[in-house]
Amino acid sequence: MPAPYFDPKTGLLLDRVFASRRIFDLEQGSVFRKSWLLIAPTDWLDEPGAFVTTSMGRDPVLAWRASDGRTRVFINRCVGGSSRLAEDERGSMEVLTCPCHGWAYAAQAGATELSPIAVPRVEAFSGFIFACMDEEAPPLADWMGDFGWCWEVISRRYAGGLAVCGGASLRARLACNWKLAAEAHSGDVYSDLTLSKATREVLDLGAALAERRGLQIAAGRGAIAVTVGGGRSPEDPREDMTPVLATLFPNISYDGRGSALHVWHPRGVAETEVQTYCLAGRDDAEVHSLGARRRCQQLFGPAGLMTQDQDAVWSAISAGARTSRGHPLNLAMGLGRERRSNLPGRQSDLASEMNQRAFYEWWQEQLSTPSVPPLGDRMTVDRPSRPAPN
């Protein structure tokens, strides 16, 4: 293989990318700290003082709305030590106090002596707050590039635009490397015939995705798989598309089978926490949102049928990679059948591995770019003066 880990000409990928501690560490600065990442639904931050905790790569972060109406994103850590300022997924506080020595923080600079370390780039997009740790990164829409067109395929399926139903995300731990989940959601429709067959039949999800008419599109910083047919407006091809799987690189994935948006958080080389938001249309009636939430929970909750199906396979691949001596995995399905048309990016048959190859091409390219250091490492922190002992 000419390329270090992935060869786009043959579609071969070395399985040690799922087991190497060195690659995992490199990804933090070259992939996660350089990318725009999903932080929280905007609706969860509509009141001053509202906060949401999550993480960017391995860094814990806190999105916090200040009294000036701005939502800022901070490292969720006291500058005096490593204590987290907030533990709950959601809450509301004007001041957060570190439990260790009682230093107090506010979301608005100047409101208290201290502010937490701020993530430099924050934007609202399509019902969600996104943030990026790279000060030099282009604005989110430019960063996504042509994938913005594909994101629109997803958002226009929801009446009034995307909204999250339920007051909390669903969370589950998977014993696998994060890339396996992000890659599969780029466009692995054919496992719907095998791995997810029983789940599909039990929950009456209809024909397997791979048996439907559709295509894959790899465009900008993402990839989507859509079924085609039954649309109303021939002027815009997106009206004729139904999104089934998509990943905005690196770790934000859509799954149309459960109306879910997943964020794959890397917790270790072979440990991933998935945070799942259940999507509904902003204009949908409550009864519809409840149905969507129930389906999402059945499929993607910690004991969800799809969660269990996928974890069984992805964890086995991760475990195999730990003892392998550099086994090449074959992602060559549909190689040579890619095409270009009036749609953005490249297209392929629906049952193909073009999108998975696009994911690894992008990932490998990222690894060869200069990495962004952790935010705390490039900031000078003014500590409050401590009272002199008597």
Interface residues with ligand FES (CB under 6 A)?
A: 78, 80-81, 83, 98, 100-101, 103
Residue closer to ligand FES, measured from CB, 40 or 78 = 78
Distance CA 76, CA 117 (A): 8
Interaxial angle between packed helices 354-367 and 178-187, expressed in degrees from 0 to 180 and rounded to the nearest 10 = 140
End-to-end CA distance of the chain: 69
Distance CA 317, CA 243 (A): 27
Residue closer to ligand FES, measured from CB, 80 or 320 = 80
User: Residue 14: exposed, middle, or buried by beta-carbon count in 10 A (0-12, 13-18, 19+)?
Assistant: buried
Residue closer to ligand FES, measured from CB, 81 or 138 = 81
Residue closer to ligand FES, measured from CB, 94 or 349 = 94
Contacts of 195 (CB under 8 A, 6+ apart): 309, 310, 313
User: In the complex, what is the shortest distance from the CB of residue 82 to ligand FES, in angstroms, rounded to a whole number?
Assistant: 7
User: In the complex, what is the shortest distance from the CB of residue 112 to ligand FES, in angstroms, rounded to a whole number?
Assistant: 13
**Dihedral over Cα of 282, 284, 286, 290: its sign:** negative
Residue closer to ligand FES, measured from CB, 83 or 298 = 83
User: In the complex, what is the shortest distance from the CB of residue 80 to ligand FES, in angstroms, rounded to a whole number?
Assistant: 4
Q: Which H or E run contains 218?
A: strand 214-219
Residue closer to ligand FES, measured from CB, 8 or 80 = 80
Dihedral angle at the C-alpha atoms of 106, 165, 181, 372, nearest 10 degrees? Answer: -20
Distance CA 374, CA 390 (A): 38
Residue closer to ligand FES, measured from CB, 79 or 354 = 79
User: In the complex, what is the shortest distance from the CB of residue 104 to ligand FES, in angstroms, rounded to a whole number?
Assistant: 9
User: In the complex, what is the shortest distance from the CB of residue 170 to ligand FES, in angstroms, rounded to a whole number?
Assistant: 31
Residue closer to ligand FES, measured from CB, 99 or 231 = 99
User: In the complex, what is the shortest distance from the CB of residue 64 to ligand FES, in angstroms, rounded to a whole number?
Assistant: 17
User: In the complex, what is the shortest distance from the CB of residue 81 to ligand FES, in angstroms, rounded to a whole number?
Assistant: 3
Distance CA 205, CA 244 (A): 12
User: Residue 381: exposed, middle, or buried by beta-carbon count in 10 A (0-12, 13-18, 19+)?
Assistant: exposed
| Residue nearest ligand FES, Cβ-based | 81
**Dihedral over Cα of 175, 56, 261, 187: its sign:** negative
Interaxial angle between packed helices 178-187 and 305-323, expressed in degrees from 0 to 180 and rounded to the nearest 10 = 120
User: In the complex, what is the shortest distance from the CB of residue 61 to ligand FES, in angstroms, rounded to a whole number?
Assistant: 17
Kindly list the distances between the CA atom of residue 69 and the CA atoms of 45, 51, 174, 221, in Å, as whole numbers in the listed order.
Answer: 10, 13, 37, 31
